[in-house]
A and B are shown apart, each in its own frame.
Chain A
Amino acid sequence: MDVLYFAWVRERIGTPKDKVDTEAATVRDLVEELRAREPRYEAAFADLSALRVAVDQELADFDAPLAGVREVAFFPPMTGG
């Protein structure tokens, strides 16, 4: 699965994209796996209320299931316009 990061999440983690081999059932489980990796991931995911998530390019919540999912993205609230 591709895991993408945008804006300050990308900067904090230090990469725009990870290829992740995971058995995580939900986004929340995936976050826990990522947090356990390294302090920079722990820092990026410290406050989930400051983050939004998209699953296969659709906005989702942290309880969204990951079965069959190809792409998950984490980012701060959007500021378009």
Chain B
Amino acid sequence: MDIRVQEVPFDLGEEARAFAARQSGMGAVVTFTGIVRDVAEGLEVMEIEHYPGMTERALTRIAEEARARWGLGDVLVVHRFGRLRADELIMMVATAARHRADAFQAAEFLMDYLKSRAPFWKKEHGRDGASWVAARDEDEDALDRW
């Protein structure tokens, strides 16, 4: 299991390649990547703040639960913080399982929990000022299905 919280960019292709290459007996690898969107048109910087210490603990707990629940061979979570621009990669998860259904479901579970249970906050800086991104009810409701 590999959990990384970092300011520097990551190489999606290299991460996915290395993750797949270190598996053994796993028939499926699923990756998900989150990208900064310029929703309101005019985004200059997406600032991501986090809670050092708690972030790593929360991500590790979520990844461990996914691993146990879907019998995963491995989990990777990379999440950036700091100042990002539109179209930059914010984060990725990768899951490895014997069969694809488990790998897909575990990746969705990781994303749902990571969105509202890992201590990250986003602030959009645009032409017309800056504002904190509000949590969405749908993201909280998404946890109910698990």
Contact = CB atoms under 8 A, between A and B. Distances in A.
A78 B119 contact: yes
A75 B121 contact: yes
B79, B114, B121, B134, most chain A CB atoms within 10 A = B121
Of the four ranges (under 10, 10 to 19, 20 to 34, 35 or more), the interface on chain A belongs to 10 to 19
Interface of B: 34, 49, 51, 53-54, 57-58, 79, 90-91, 111, 114-123, 132-135, 139-140
Interface string A1-30: 000101110000000000000000000000
B57 A7 contact: no
Q: Which label, helix, strand, loop or mixed, suits the secondary structure of the B interface? A: mixed
Contacts of A58: 54, 57
B116 A80 contact: yes
A73 interface: yes
Contacts of A7: 49, 121, 123, 132
